Structure 1
């Protein structure tokens, strides 16, 4: 299963390079089910893997002129606060066993995987559906951009997910960015948010297998370069529905596994 996990790690970067999101959607299931990492610890690993992969994607998009730093910072700075609040204040106070129904116990790890599977299904539906052109405002609404950033930071903090599929629509609508610039700017935001969250976890003294973490990250970065290269030749819009069906199946599988197969 571990070797399959390494192969699957390529898809993390491939997705980020091709369509600007989806890497974090796959990272948690890969870590939990293929590498057998505790879901709570996996959220920390995910932040690093998605963050470092997004950094390399940022560099590529910067060279292509697809990076809007001002919009990224207005979005990312409020996100930093919500990420730190969730991971350093709220997350540690959630009990290992949240509540019990008869002999059935609902644990923190169970909650993480169920919430994550719901996010996967929601993201999958958004990818599968044909989206209409979103009317963009004449100017960037930095106030609303910051508010959305704070909200998405909560998702990033709790699930260890970069939130690319939430960030990109926000940049399209509130920052008035074309699609390619929204993808590049999204990667910068994901990098900032992910590393702030991971840095907070390291400061807390969380136990990390750095050899495994770096190995998965390197493979994901290779996938990112492949995805970025292919994005110049393949229309990402055509790949989104296919990837969406894949994510949908995985999300449903996680729910079934957590509810009935554990």
Structure 2
């Protein structure tokens, strides 16, 4: 009974993460189902795809009402991702579960670093960049493959792709990512069902709790500054990535590798910020920038 209550409480957090951050659902769901609900890794991955897919589909509703969904970009990205996700789900049958989880953790840390650093600020008056359709398709297939392979809904990859590469405002990237996550999760689940069975009673209970959390998280998005969202999301992914690495690698290597991974991520963030500050100072000191600041608009 205690295990079920802990699992359902964690499921609410999965929903809040999806609704508020546009991702992180599977980052919570897979460890929750493996380490709390005590499911085998591949069954946990398949179940997480179901939970995250349904929760994302419901969680997109408050974002859509608030006009925080870029439908064309989301649907194209999602369709491309579905192809990759189905292929990844079929391929996962041939990869050891431990390898899947370790690879999952490594990608979490790399993506978290990019999210924490964010993208360079655009010059004043510059038009927002448009995300080209070939790039949307390419990114969608790659992210979809990861989704199907390791059971991640892909929000921790989709949000950076939309916010960092596509130039979407963070709240819009969050809302749009839920469309993509739902589509890819269902495709990845279809790939897994050919070789994995699901405890449907547990899956339905976890999904219902996660939906409640997603609706709550969706209501909070407009009241949280976008940069705060991005940084919180990034550090959250770092913590979960280190946790998964620590648990999957044998003692004493697990804690050592986890500590090294955490230190490396922090170092990467600090180095990236210093490099960005230095680059910004160089631009501020350039003749072109001085002219732009002091010149009279004609």
Q: TM-score, normalised by structure 1?
A: 0.84
Aligned CA distance change for structure 1 residues 44 and 134 (closer, same or farther; 3 Å): farther
CA contact (8 A) 1:117 1:254 kept: yes
How far 1:150 moved relative to its partner? 0.8
Question: Whose Rg is larger?
Answer: 2
Aligned CA distance change for structure 1 residues 220 and 42 (closer, same or farther; 3 Å): same
CA contact (8 A) 2:131 2:166 kept: yes
Aligned CA distance change for structure 1 residues 176 and 253 (closer, same or farther; 3 Å): closer
Aligned CA distance change for structure 1 residues 251 and 170 (closer, same or farther; 3 Å): closer
How far 1:137 moved relative to its partner? 6.0
Cα distance in 2 between the residues matched to 1:124 and 1:169: 9
CA contact (8 A) 2:15 2:210 kept: yes
1:144 paired to 2:112: no
Aligned to 1:87: 89
Cα distance in 2 between the residues matched to 1:138 and 1:255: 36
Aligned CA distance change for structure 1 residues 6 and 111 (closer, same or farther; 3 Å): same
1:186 paired to 2:170: no
Residue from 158, 161, 167 that aligns with 2:152? 161
Cα distance in 2 between the residues matched to 1:64 and 1:133: 25
Aligned CA distance change for structure 1 residues 144 and 24 (closer, same or farther; 3 Å): same
Q: Which moved more, 1:49-58 or 1:161-170?
A: 161-170
User: What are the equivalent positions in structure 2 for 1:59-208 lying under 5 Å apart?
Assistant: 59-88=61-90, 90-94=91-95, 108-129=96-117, 131-133=119-121, 138-172=129-163, 175-202=166-193, 204=194, 206-208=196-198
Q: Which moved more, 1:175-184 or 1:213-222?
A: 175-184
How far 1:142 moved relative to its partner? 0.3
Residue from 220, 243, 266 that aligns with 1:230? 220
Aligned to 2:207: 217
Aligned CA distance change for structure 1 residues 137 and 130 (closer, same or farther; 3 Å): closer
Q: TM-score, normalised by structure 2?
A: 0.74
Aligned CA distance change for structure 1 residues 239 and 84 (closer, same or farther; 3 Å): closer
Q: Which moved more, 1:5-14 or 1:212-221?
A: 5-14
Cα distance in 1 between the residues matched to 2:175 and 2:196: 31
How far 1:60 moved relative to its partner? 1.5
By relative contact order (CA 8 Å, sep 6+), the higher-ranking structure is 1
CA contact (8 A) 2:118 2:164 kept: no
Cα distance in 2 between the residues matched to 1:230 and 1:129: 23
The number of residue pairs the alignment matches comes to: 247
Deviation by residue 1:60-80 (Cα, 9 ceiling, x = unmatched)? 111112222221222122212
How far 1:236 moved relative to its partner? 4.8
1:260 paired to 2:250: yes
How far 1:210 moved relative to its partner? 0.9
Aligned CA distance change for structure 1 residues 73 and 5 (closer, same or farther; 3 Å): same
Aligned to 1:250: 240
List gaps (5 residues or longer) in structure 1: 95-107
CA contact (8 A) 2:15 2:213 kept: yes
CA contact (8 A) 1:134 1:172 kept: no
Residue from 26, 32, 35 that aligns with 2:34? 32
CA contact (8 A) 1:144 1:174 kept: no
